[in-house]
Structure 1
Amino acid sequence: MRYTSPPSELFIENRRRLAARLKPSSIAVLHANDLMPSNADGVRSFIQNADLFYLSGIDQEETILVLFPQAPDPQFREILFIRETSEQLVTWQGPQFSKEEAASLSGIATVRWTHEFETVFRPLVVEARHIFLNTNEHARATPIVETRDMRFIRWCMEHFPLHRYERLAPILQELRIIKSEPELALIREACRLGAEAFRQMIGIVRPGVWEFEIEAELFHCLVRNRSKGPSFLPIIASGPNTCILHYERNERQCQAGELILMDFGAEYANYASDITRTVPVDGRFTPRQRAVYDAVLRIHNEAMRRMIPGNTMPNLVREVGELVESELVGLGLLDREAIRNQPTEGPLYRKYFMHGISHHLGLAVHDVGSRYQPFAPGMVMTCEPGIYIREEGIGIRIENDILLTESGPVNLTAEIPSTAEDIESWMKHAAF
Structure 2
Amino acid sequence: MKYHQIDRELFIKNRNKFTAQMKPASIAIFNSNDIYPVSADSTMPFQQARDIFYLSGADQEESILLLFPDAIDPKHREILFVRETNEHIAIWEGEKLSKERAFEVSGIKTVYWLTDFEKIFFDLMTEAETVYFNTNEHYRQAVETETREDRFIKWCKEKFPAHKWEKSNQILQGLRGVKEAQEIDLIQHACGITEKGFRRVLEFVKPGVWEYEIEAEYIHEFIRNRSRGFAYTPIIASGFNANVLHYIENNQQCQDGDMLLMDVGAEYANYASDMSRTIPVNGRFTKRQREIYDAVLRVKNEATKLLVPGTIWHEYHVEVGKIMTSELLGLGLLDKADVQNEDPSWPAYKKYFMHGTSHHMGLDTHDYGKLKEPMAANMVFTVEPGIYIPDENMGIRLEDDVVITEKGEPLNLMKNIPIEAEEIEDLMNRS
Shorter-chain TM-score category?
A: over 0.9
Report the AA paired with residue 113 of structure 2: W
Tell me whether 1:106 sits opposite 2:106 in the alignment.
yes
- Aligned residue for 2:412? 411
3-state SS, counterpart of residue 128 of structure 2: coil
Whole-Å separation in 2 of the counterparts to 1:112 and 1:199: 46
| Amino acid corresponding to residue 412 of structure 1 in structure 2 | L
Verify: 1:166 aligned to 2:178, yes or no: no
Mapping for residues 183-202 of structure 1, pairs under 5 Å: 183-202=183-202
Unaligned runs of at least 5 residues, structure 1: none
Alignment of 1:37-56 (within 5 A): 37-56=37-56
Query: Secondary structure at 1:203's aligned position in 2?
Result: helix
Could you say which residue in structure 1 is the equivalent of 2:429? 428
Counterpart CA distance in 1 for 2:134 and 2:421 is 46
Q: Which shifted more, 82-91 or 217-226?
A: 82-91
Kept in 1, the 8 Å contact 2:12–2:55? The answer is yes
Whether the 8 Å contact between 2:33 and 2:62 is mirrored in structure 1 is: yes
Structure 1, residues 118-146: CA drift from partner, whole Å, max 9, x if none?
01110001101111010111011012000
Which residue is 2:125 aligned to?
125
Q: How far apart, CA to CA, are the structure 2 residues paired with 1:345 and 1:143?
A: 28
Query: Which digits, 9 at most, give the CA deviation of each residue in 1:275-332, with x for residues without a partner?
Result: 0000000001000000000000010000000111111111111001111111111111
Q: Is the 8 A contact 2:176 2:368 kept in 1?
A: yes
Q: Does the aligned pair in 1 maintain the 2:277–2:399 contact within 8 Å?
A: yes
- Distance in 2 of aligned mates of 1:249 and 1:62: 33
- 1:51-77: CA deviation from partner (whole Å, max 9, x where unpaired): 000000010000000000010000100
Distance, in Å, in 2 between the alignment partners of 1:363 and 1:100 is 26
Taking the aligned partners of 2:344 and 2:267, their CA distance within structure 1 comes to 40
In the alignment, the residues of structure 2 paired with residue 68 and residue 345 of structure 1 have an alpha-carbon distance, to the nearest angstrom, of: 46
Aligned runs of 1:266-345 on 2, under 5 Å? 266-345=266-345
More off after superposition, 333-342 vs 246-255? 333-342
Which residue in the other structure is 2:35 paired with?
35
* Root mean square deviation of aligned Cα: 0.8
Q: Deviations over 1:392-423 (max 9, x none)?
A: 01100000000000121010001111111111
Alpha-carbon offset, residue 346 of structure 1: 1.4
What CA deviation, in whole Å up to 9, does each residue of 1:235-271 have, x standing for no partner? Answer: 0000110111100000000010001001001100000
AA matched with 1:416: I
Alignment correspondent of 1:206: 206
For 1:348 and 1:182, locate their aligned partners in 2 and report how far apart those are by CA, in whole Å: 42
Question: What letter is aligned with 2:380?
Answer: V
Which amino acid letter does the alignment assign opposite residue 418 of structure 1?
I
Deviation at 1:88, TM superposition (A): 2.5
Write the distance in 2 (CA, Å) between the matches of 1:314 and 1:70: 39
Q: What is the Cα deviation at residue 202 of structure 1?
A: 1.6
Residue 185 of structure 1: CA displacement? 1.0
Matches within 5 A, 1:392-407: 392-407=392-407
Structure 1 CA distance, aligned partners of 2:119 and 2:345?
Answer: 57
**Code of the aligned partner of 2:374:** P
**C-alpha distance in 2 between matches for 1:373 and 1:42:** 43
Q: Normalised by the size of structure 1, how large is the TM-score? A: 0.98
Identify the residue that residue 234 of structure 1 maps to in structure 2: 234
In the TM superposition, residue 369 of structure 1 has moved relative to its aligned partner by 1.4
Residues 358-373 of structure 1: matches in 2 within 5 Å?
A: 358-373=358-373
3-state SS of the aligned residue for 2:58? coil
Matches within 5 A, 1:143-154: 143-154=143-154
Q: What CA distance in whole angstroms lies between the structure 2 residues aligned with 1:288 and 1:371? A: 37
In 1, the alpha carbon distance for the partners of 2:144 and 2:289 equals 41
3-state SS of 2:55 partner: helix
Equivalence for 1:180: 180
Q: What TM-score do the two structures reach when normalised by structure 2?
A: 0.99
**Which string of whole-angstrom CA distances, capped at 9 and with x for unpartnered residues, describes residues 28-64 of structure 1?**
1000000011122110000100000000001000000
Q: Secondary structure at the match of 1:121?
A: helix
Aligned to 1:356: 356
Unaligned 5+ runs, structure 2: none
- 1:316 is paired with a residue of what secondary structure? helix
For 1:293, give the aligned amino acid.
Answer: Y
Report the Cα offset of residue 337 of structure 1: 2.1
Structure 1 residue 343, shift from structure 2 partner: 2.0
Q: Secondary structure at the match of 2:112?
A: strand
- Matching residue's letter, 1:170: Q
Corresponding residue of 1:95: 95
Count of matched residue pairs: 430
- 1:389 is displaced (CA, Å) by 0.3
Distance in 2 (alpha carbons) for counterparts of 1:273 and 1:231? 7
Return the offset for 1:338: 2.1
Counterparts of 1:81 and 1:317, CA distance in 2: 43
State the shift of 1:201 in Å.
1.5
Structure 1 residue runs of 4+, over 4 Å off?
Answer: none
